Structure 1
Amino acid sequence: MGDPTPPPPTPHPAVAPLSYLLGTWKGSGEGGYPTISSFSYGEELHFFALPGKPVISYTQKTWKLASGEPMHAESGYWRPKPDGTLEVVIAQSTGLVEVQKGTFNEQDKTIKLDSDMVGNASKVKAISRVFELVNGELSYVVQMATNLSSLQPHLRAVLKKL
């Protein structure tokens, strides 16, 4: 008999309130904006704790549902603070970079983020993201503002943990 697989390392205490995110999530979403046609997409998110560090690593990828052709990807780091605030940095495959700040509610499993800075973007001026865990499903809404409009709905998805 072989040894059983060891359990994953215990996340840093700062990560514990968001440990429900850890793992891989997959599902589908819808997008649109006043300046583009609406679209549907498949998506996979991956959150993993860095052993001994007060940070969660994050990757995301999307694809066209009909063809499986890749659409968008981004990666970054989420840094939860003991006071319920959250700092997030994200680099998108388009070259756009986001620095977001926000809050998390451990009891309601709700995360609210607003851009503190959007870099390397000629048109995008602000991005907000709201994540909620409801009945075991992770849903989110992304809003975006450009040089032509205030915050408008852009993306919405529902994901299940694999």
Structure 2
Amino acid sequence: MTDENPLGPPPWLNAPPVERFPYEDTHDLRSGPDLHPALLGLLPFVGLWRGRGQGGFPADEDYDFAQEIRISHDGRPFLRFEARSWLLDADSKPLGNWQAEQGYWRPVLTDDGRATDEMEATMISPEGVAEIYVGKTIGSTRLEIEADAIAYTPGGLHVTGGHRLFGIVEGALLYAHEQAVDDSGLRPHMSARLLRIGG
């Protein structure tokens, strides 16, 4: 037997370098690709948001944090969700990085490509947790999703349940996130009010 490929080396092996990624996503609806028609119901959520909130469980004590959330699109029928937060002291000064998340929101489509009010979402965090959420949009300013499946790495946080509510209230993005760890039952985890700073 021989390890040689009778067809020769694959064509990409010695190909020239590739230019930068040509299909950027955007949180600014005035530039970049057009928003996919299936996402029109989620239009108010698209943007760059920044604000503050309070967290608790599973931390030992409640804490204050600041957060930036970017909800963007690339023209396809889903939204990209990116969040990063940092702890604040009693004087609102930064104390250091806190939690981060990335994921995708997507409406369930009919056979002819129209969006329904049913939603699916995936979320992943550096704590070794991956979550699949299902839920519904209520009008165009409220999204409620509940964890349908959760996986965590052997050394990851043992998240066993999750519920998230997002809403646009007087132009601000508000959310409440409940979490269960080791079958504790859902308990308040993080909530915040963020103002649109871009998009």
Which residue of the other structure, out of 54, 75, 88, is the alignment partner of 2:102?
75
Which residue of the other structure, out of 175, 178, 183, is the alignment partner of 1:140?
175
Task: Please give the root-mean-square deviation of Cα atoms over the aligned residues, in Å.
Answer: 1.6
Contact 2:161–2:183 (8 Å) recurs in 1:
no
Shift of 1:47: 0.6
Tell me whether 1:11 sits opposite 2:35 in the alignment.
Answer: yes
User: What is the count of residue pairs matched by the alignment?
Assistant: 155
Shift of 1:118: 1.2
Q: Which has the higher strand share?
A: 1
Structure 1 residue aligned with 2:128: 95
Paired with 1:67 and 1:115, the residues of 2 have a C-alpha distance of: 31
Structure 2 residue aligned with 1:149: 184
Structure 1 residue ranges (4+ consecutive) displaced by more than 4 angstroms after TM superposition: none
Identity %: 27
Contact 1:76–1:91 (8 Å) recurs in 2:
yes
Structure 2 residue aligned with 1:50: 74
Distance 1:148 1:98, change over 3 A: closer
Which residue of the other structure, out of 11, 25, 28, is the alignment partner of 2:52?
28
Unaligned runs of 5+ in 2: 1-29, 109-114
Tell me whether 1:158 sits opposite 2:193 in the alignment.
Answer: yes
Shift of 1:138: 0.7
Which of the two has higher C-alpha Rg? 2
Which residue of the other structure, out of 106, 117, 121, is the alignment partner of 2:139?
106
Unaligned runs of 5+ in 1: 1-5
Shift of 1:8: 3.6
Amino acid across the alignment from 1:30: Q
Contact 1:18–1:106 (8 Å) recurs in 2:
no
Output one character per residue of 1:119-148: Cα deviation in whole Å (capped at 9) or x when no partner: 115521001000111100110001111225
- TM-score w.r.t. length of structure 1: 0.89
